[in-house]
Every structure is written in structure tokens, then in C-alpha cells.
Amino acid sequence: MSGTLNNNTKVYVGMSGGVDSSVAAALLKDQGYDVTGVYMKNWTKDLPGMQCPWAEDLSDAKRVAVQLGIPFKVFDFETEYKQKVVDYMVNEYAAGRTPNPDIMCNQEVKFKLFLEAALADGADAIATGHYARSESGRLEMAADTNKDQTYFLYRVTEAALAHTLFPLGEYEKPRIREIATEKGLYTATKKDSQGICFVGKVSMRDFLSQYIQGVPGDIIDVQTGKIVGRHDGAIFYTIGQRHGLGLGGGLPLYVARKDMIKNIVYVTAKLNDTALWDDRVALQQVHWINEAPIIDKEYRVRLRHRATLIVATFKMVGDEGETAQLVLHDEERAVTPGQSVVVYDGETVVGGGVVA
């Protein structure tokens, strides 16, 4: 983050009730920062078969704050979170795309609402338990490349990074558990949360069913043009999906594409089917953290979370919020509309966009 901040800086740490954010707060306190813990109350709704753990998470965050001897606050963003993150996700699925709500949460809530509220409340900066690094307004990959979370942070602004600390950026994940244990933190052995926070252990299909009524339609083989089954809503399927098609025996089938107007899901048994592979990607809603990428320069890109970094070049680059054209050096399978493509120059995050 900005070099103008020092150990007298008043930092509000987003504490989720997990071990990562707990250790982030502990590390900053040890470094002499004036630390306040903040729990962001974003989602409290229970779903059929799954009780939202927000109250337990709040209690755990508060206990750690007491252990550390730091002030603790609760910021209520539930209304804004529903509008900016949950509704966004539901609307994207309804349009036939596969969004990443965690990215939108970082853009709209953690590094916008939380940052603005913290600064208005007297903080100089915020901090989170993300595995990432920031230097002089630039976002860098974490030292622990297996845990690196910059894919979810690519829509953060340079201005926000100037007021953000990532205390875990230089650490390996196992060391974070060790630090929590050494300090006797209440969350030292708490399991990491999995999946999307507001979906929890409920399947995405079951979650979406609370908001969208699926319309049954045909599943058609792209090779033969024959109907091979029925689906209960094209919105529930994603490109490249193999499981959950309910088509029984025979060769495994993969979702190749969807026609939302005709409500048809097209499948193929051929992994090398051209419908499943692309070497050109159109991006929309592009966001560049510092400078826009350079035409024809080689970058590394990640097509989805935890996907291998691959080489690509830009043939067209749009300004903020516009479109860009990306050429992959090798064809990739299941480039999915709605997912984010994140661009790296070395270890620096350039930005990215959403697959059109």
C-alpha cells in the first residue's frame, strides 16, 4: 500500500470470524498499528436446509478482538449486499451467464462500502485477510501462489489500494495456522469457509431456485441434433459442465452452449468438440487497476479461479467499463460467459474483464 502510511496509522480490519482475518488483525497489532476490528454484516438469511452462520462468525470475530485487546465494530451492509452482490448473481444466471459474486463483493462491498465507511469513521486504512500484496497502488500476487486470491481482487481500484493493507501477503497458509495457535486465538482451528458465503452448503441450483423459476426444456446433442434428455431450467447449467445432467449411461456428455431464448441446452460427447474450445475471448466490463494493457504484448491470464496461468495477447483494449479482445496462445476448454478473466504482467495484476 501507499508508503505514506506508517505504524501510527489507524487501521480497520475486516474480521469475518475466520482464522485468516484474525491473524491479519494480530499481525498488524504486533507491528504497532492502531487496530480496530470490524465485522461486516452482509447476509443473515437462512435457506432451506442451511442455517446462515453469521451470528457464530460475528461471535468468533468479537472473541478474537477481545483476545487481542482491540476495539470492535459492526458495519451493517446487508441491504447494499443484497442489491449489489446477490441480485447481481441471480440476474446473471437468469441471463444465461455464470458470474463470480465474490469478485463483485470485493468491488462493491469490501473495497468500496467498507473502505468509505471506515475512512468516514476516522480510519486511515483498511485491511483484510486476503492472500495478496500491494505496493504503491499496485496489486501483486501473494507469496503463497497456491493460496493467492488476486483473481477475486482484480476489480479493486488504485485509489482503494492506496488505503489497503494485506498483512498475509508474504505468508504461507500453514504458517498462518501456526501463528494463530501460538497466539492462542479462538479461531486457530476453525475450518476455512468453502464456496460462496451466502450460498453456504446449499447447492447453487437450490439457492437459485429460491429466486428463479426454472423452465424445463430440451437437451440436444450438437453432433446429431437429436434430443437426448430434458433439463429443468437452462439457467442451472454452465459451459463445460459434465455432472448433474441426469442423462444416464453411455459416453459422458458436456454442456457445449445454451440458447436462452429457445431454452435449449446443447451437449457434446466429444471433449475436442470445437464448441467447447476457444482461442479468442471477448471481454466486457473491463477494469484496469493502473494502466491498460499494451496491444500484442504477452501477458499471463487466468480464465477462472485456480486455473493455470496461460499466455495471451490483446488485439483490442477498451477503456474502463468497455470491451477488449484477447487472443489465447493455445485453445482453452469451456471459456464461460459471465466468468472473469484476470490479466497478469509478471506478478502484477493488470486488471481484467468478464467473458462476453
Co-location of 16 and 161 in the same domain:
yes
> Quick check: 336 and 304 in contact, CB under 8 A?
yes
Place of cell 452482490: 85
Helix (H, G, I), strand (E, B) or coil at 26: helix
Grid cell, residue 303, equals: 480464465
Last residue of a domain, one of 268, 298, 332: 268
Question: How far is residue 196 from each of residues 63, 84, 121, 163, 331, measured CA to CA in Å?
Answer: 24, 15, 29, 26, 29
Co-location of 225 and 79 in the same domain:
no
pLDDT of 67 reads: 98
Co-location of 233 and 325 in the same domain:
no
pLDDT of 6 reads: 60
Q: What is the DSSP string of 49-70?
A: TB---HHHHHHHHHHHHHHHT-
In a domain, 1, yes or no: no
In a domain, 36, yes or no: yes
pTM of the model: 0.93
Grid cell, residue 226, equals: 437429436
Last residue of a domain, one of 134, 161, 182: 182
Residue 256 Cα to chain centre, angstroms: 24
Give the Cα separation of 44 and 27 in Å (integer).
29
In a domain, 191, yes or no: no
Secondary structure letter of residue 295 according to DSSP: B
Co-location of 45 and 173 in the same domain:
yes
Give the Cα separation of 271 and 256 in Å (integer).
10
Q: Is 244 left (phi over 0), alpha (psi -120 to 50) or beta?
A: left
CATH number at residue 101: 3.40.50.620
Co-location of 262 and 315 in the same domain:
no
Task: For residue 54, give the nearest of 16, 104, 28, 5 by alpha carbon.
Answer: 16
Co-location of 78 and 115 in the same domain:
yes
pLDDT of 195 reads: 67
Catalytic residues: 105, 197
In a domain, 291, yes or no: yes
Q: What is the DSSP string of 108-147?
A: IIIIIIHHHHHHHTT-SEEE---S-EEETTEEE--SSTTT
pLDDT of 200 reads: 67
Co-location of 107 and 73 in the same domain:
yes
Co-location of 116 and 244 in the same domain:
no
Q: Which range marks the domain in which residue 336 is found? A: 274-355
Co-location of 176 and 72 in the same domain:
yes
For 198, residues 6+ apart whose C-beta sits below 8 A from its C-beta are 42, 43, 45, 52, 81, 85, 86, 101, 207
Helix (H, G, I), strand (E, B) or coil at 205: helix
CATH number at residue 317: 2.40.30.10
Bridge-based pairing state of the strands 324-333 and 310-316: antiparallel
Strand partners, 243: none
Co-location of 228 and 252 in the same domain:
yes
Co-location of 226 and 249 in the same domain:
yes
CATH number at residue 256: 2.30.30.280
Helix (H, G, I), strand (E, B) or coil at 198: coil
Collect the ranges in the chain with pLDDT lower than 50.
Answer: 1-4
**Number of separate domains in the chain:** 3
Co-location of 238 and 334 in the same domain:
no
Last residue of a domain, one of 238, 268, 298: 268
